[in-house]
């Protein structure tokens, strides 16, 4: 802690009303929950968040998919189609700093729970809408699915084998990009609300976020006017920067500059002629003569073991790594040293292991992880905070307004 006194998590005292489900919205609100906010997850009484049923695997009746995006929250099941349910959400929104939703266009307006309606009750409310294509879009009425957005926003076109078909990424990155971007936008809007005393409507789209995360590939397409191609495990503008076969496995070698390439040739390959060759002396030249260079490197690297290469490359300062399986990565010493896997108590599973928050703050750390809530588990407590008594809560449950 370097002598610093530990303070409360940064968002302690903030209230987040989470009407979202599946991944992008819940990921954003989990980030806010980790940072200390009280996140109330509003689910439908008939099964709750879709991801509760996306399995196997399950533990204690809960899916691993649901567990990945809902730690540090409380859950209440509310029927938004009922007048009582709508009233409860309005009461919660009147006390909230933030509302997050990912309903279809107009879905909440028919319940009187749209931004314009709730801003009258709470002018400071930050209301974040997450959708596939944005509320102000010719495709606003289309549902947003990560796989489709990866296809339509260019990511699949540049992912996969050079001569193979386009491939999606192994996790739902368009959703995750959007969740992280939404969390950033919400934090910025909270700062603005503290300064100006007014909330605002945030319009976050999976499509926009995926386009933005094309990064250098998108920029290259705009600058060159050409369609980027797939490079498999290679890199479009850095060489050598790819996966190589060794005598007993595979190794990633990521030569980031000309000095590293010279060290590779002179100190490990014993081939000073390669870095002296004008075709390979600079990264620009190596990109232009990629095939010629790889014809030299591939058999050299295949002659030694993965461990030989990892040890040698690390010794000379050339970035490298082996391809780990997910379990191997989660069990690695550096994973444990960083506290990136947490074991938390769970009401039905006994305990569950969760991937932890990556946010590391020295003075105001994220809150300790709490297990994702069971469906509707916190209804009595949440309604009690609104002033509902035991008999009123029983009536709401009997009418089906809450689960």
**pLDDT tens, N- to C-terminus, the chain (403 residues):** 455 678 899 999 999 999 999 999 999 999 999 999 999 999 999 999 999 999 999 999 999 999 999 999 999 999 999 999 999 999 999 999 999 999 999 999 999 999 999 999 999 999 999 999 999 999 999 999 999 999 999 999 999 999 999 999 999 999 999 999 999 999 999 999 999 999 999 999 999 999 999 999 999 999 999 999 999 999 999 999 999 999 999 999 999 999 999 999 999 999 999 999 999 999 999 999 999 999 999 999 999 999 999 999 999 999 999 999 999 999 999 999 999 999 999 999 999 999 999 999 999 999 999 999 999 999 999 999 999 999 999 999 999 999 9
Q: Which pLDDT score, from 0 to 100, does residue 5 have? A: 77
Same domain, 281 and 144: no
CB contact at 8 A, 280 and 261: yes
Residue 221 lies in a domain: no
Range of the domain at 279: 241-326
Same domain, 53 and 202: yes
Same domain, 207 and 61: yes
- What CATH number does residue 321 fall under? 3.30.1540.10
Residue 3 lies in a domain: no
- What CATH number does residue 159 fall under? 3.40.50.10540
Q: What is the C-alpha to C-alpha distance for residues 116 and 353, in angstroms, rounded to an integer?
A: 41
Same domain, 68 and 175: yes
CB contact at 8 A, 366 and 34: yes
Residue 9 lies in a domain: no
Tens-digit pLDDT profile for residues 103-143: 999 999 999 999 999 999 999 999 999 999 999 999 999 99
Residue 19 lies in a domain: yes
Residue 7 lies in a domain: no
Residue 331 lies in a domain: no
Residue 390 lies in a domain: yes
Same domain, 154 and 206: yes
Same domain, 184 and 254: no
Same domain, 209 and 271: no
Same domain, 391 and 301: no
Q: Which pLDDT score, from 0 to 100, does residue 184 have? A: 98
Instruction: List b or e across 157-194, with b for residues whose CB sees 16 or more CB atoms inside 10 angstroms.
Output: bbbbeeeeeebbeeebbbbbbbbbbbbebbbebbeebe
- Of 291, 326, 361, the domain-final residue: 326
Same domain, 247 and 194: no
* Residue recorded with tokens 């802690």: 1
* Residue recorded with tokens 């391809």: 323
How many domains does one find in the chain? Answer: 2
Q: Known catalytic residue: 353?
A: no
Q: Which pLDDT score, from 0 to 100, does residue 2 have? A: 54
Which tokens sit at 256?
């980031």
| Per-position DSSP letters for 82-117, written without gaps between them | SHHHHHHHHHHHHH-SEEEE-PPTTTTGGGT-SHHH
pTM metric for this prediction: 0.94
Same domain, 209 and 69: yes
Residue 222 lies in a domain: no
Q: Which pLDDT score, from 0 to 100, does residue 1 have? A: 44
Same domain, 101 and 198: yes
- What residues contact 225, with CB distance under 8 A and at least 6 apart? none
Same domain, 293 and 167: no
Residue in 114, 175, 203, 378 annotated catalytic:
175
């Amino acid at each position: 802690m370097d002598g610093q006194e530990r303070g409360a998590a940064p968002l302690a005292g903030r209230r987040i009303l989470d009407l979202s489900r599946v991944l992008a919205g819940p990921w954003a609100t989990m980030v806010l929950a980790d940072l200390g906010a009280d996140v109330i997850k509003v689910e439908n009484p008939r099964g709750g968040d879709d991801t509760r049923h996306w399995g196997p695997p399950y533990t204690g009746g809960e899916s691993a998919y649901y567990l990945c995006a809902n730690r540090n929250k409380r859950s209440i099941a509310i029927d938004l189609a009922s007048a009582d349910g709508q009233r409860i959400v309005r009461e919660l929104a009147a006390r909230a700093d933030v509302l997050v939703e990912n309903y279809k266009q107009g879905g909440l307006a028919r319940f009187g729970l749209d931004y314009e309606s709730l801003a009258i009750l709470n002018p400071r409310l930050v209301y974040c809408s997450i959708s596939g294509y944005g509320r102000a879009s010719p495709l606003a009425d289309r549902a947003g699915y990560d796989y489709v957005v990866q296809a339509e926003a260019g990511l699949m076109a540049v992912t996969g084998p050079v001569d193979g078909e386009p491939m999606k990424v192994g996790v739902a990155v368009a959703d995750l990009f959007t969740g992280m971007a939404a969390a950033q936008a919400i934090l910025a809007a909270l700062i603005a609300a503290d300064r100006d005393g007014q909330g605002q409507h945030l319009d976050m789209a999976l499509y926009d976020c995926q386009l933005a995360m094309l990064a250098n590939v998108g920029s290259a397409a705009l600058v060159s006017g050409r369609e980027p191609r797939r490079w498999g495990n290679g890199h479009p503008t850095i060489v050598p920067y790819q996966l190589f076969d060794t005598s007993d496995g595979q190794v990633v070698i990521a030569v980031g500059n000309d000095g590293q390439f010279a060290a590779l040739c002179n100190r490990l390959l014993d081939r000073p002629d390669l870095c002296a060759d004008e075709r390979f002396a600079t990264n620009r030249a190596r990109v232009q003569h990629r095939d010629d260079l790889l014809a030299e490197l591939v058999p050299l690297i295949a002659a030694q073991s993965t461990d030989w290469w990892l040890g040698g490359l690390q010794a000379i300062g050339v970035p490298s790594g082996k391809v780990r399986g997910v379990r191997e990565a989660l069990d690695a010493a550096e994973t444990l040293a960083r506290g990136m896997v947490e074991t938390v108590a769970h009401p039905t599973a006994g305990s569950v292991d969760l991937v932890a928050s990556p946010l590391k703050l020295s003075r105001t750390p994220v809150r300790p992880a709490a297990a994702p809530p069971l469906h509707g588990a916190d209804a009595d407590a949440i309604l009690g905070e609104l002033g509902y008594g035991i008999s009123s809560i029983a009536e709401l449950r009997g009418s089906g307004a809450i689960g």
